[in-house]
Amino acid sequence: MDQSFGFLKPKEGTASPFGMLPAKGVYTLIIFLSKDTSFNVGKLGFQSFPRGYYSYTGSALGVGATSLSHRILRHLRKEKRKFWHIDFLLAQETAVITSIIAAPTTNRKMECHINSHIKEKCQAKIPIPGFGASDCRKNCRSHLLYLGKRVTEKEMATLYAKMGCKPITIQLEPHTTHPLFPG
C-alpha cells in the first residue's frame, strides 16, 4: 500500500478494501468504455459515447444505505434499478470501472470542486451536458468527464491531495494499458 495516497489493489483471496472507506465522502470512478456506443440515458435521452476513459465524480454524505461504501458498491453492480444517469452508462457491457478514488468529507461542495479540478487539470471534455449534475451545487455542466486516454490512479489521487483531501485509491482491474485502448 502506497502510504501517501492510501493506494489499494484488491487481490484474489484478500479482504475487501471497501471497509477502509470513510462513511461520508467524495469519490471519482475511472471508467473505461471499450468501444463507441449509444444508448438511452433516462431523461437525457439517446446519447453517444466514444470509447476511452471517463471520470465520474459524486458524493455520498449519508449513513447506512446512503454511505460512501454502499454507493460505490452499488455502482459496481451491473444489475440494478437505473436511478441515476451513471447507472445507464455502467449497465453497458462495454463499461468497466477500473479504479475508484475516494476521500472523506462532509462538505457538500467538494464533489463540484473535485470535478472542476479534474476537468481543468486533465483537460477533460464534457461528453453529455447535464450528466450526473441534476443536483449540482456549483453549476457544473456535467459530473461525467471524457478523459480519452487513461489517467493513472496516482495522478488522480494527486489532484485530490492538491484540493486538500486525503485520497484512498482502489484499483479494481490490473491495467498498465488496456488491450482495446492503449495508453
Q: What is the pLDDT of residues 53-80, one digit of tens each?
A: 999 999 999 888 788 988 998 888 888 8
Q: Long-range contacts of range 156-161, CB-CB < 8 Å, 24 or more positions apart?
A: 156/28, 156/30, 156/55, 156/99, 156/101, 156/118, 157/5, 157/6, 157/7, 157/101, 158/5, 159/114, 159/117, 159/118, 159/121, 159/122, 160/28, 160/101, 160/103, 160/114, 161/4, 161/5
The pLDDT assigned to 15 comes to 53
pTM, to two decimals: 0.85
The pLDDT assigned to 16 comes to 60
The pLDDT assigned to 151 comes to 79
The pLDDT assigned to 127 comes to 95
CA distance 183 to 181: 7
The pLDDT assigned to 134 comes to 79
The pLDDT assigned to 178 comes to 40
Segments making up each domain of the chain, as ranges:
7-171
For the chain, which ranges sit under pLDDT 70? 1-17, 137, 173-183
The pLDDT assigned to 147 comes to 95
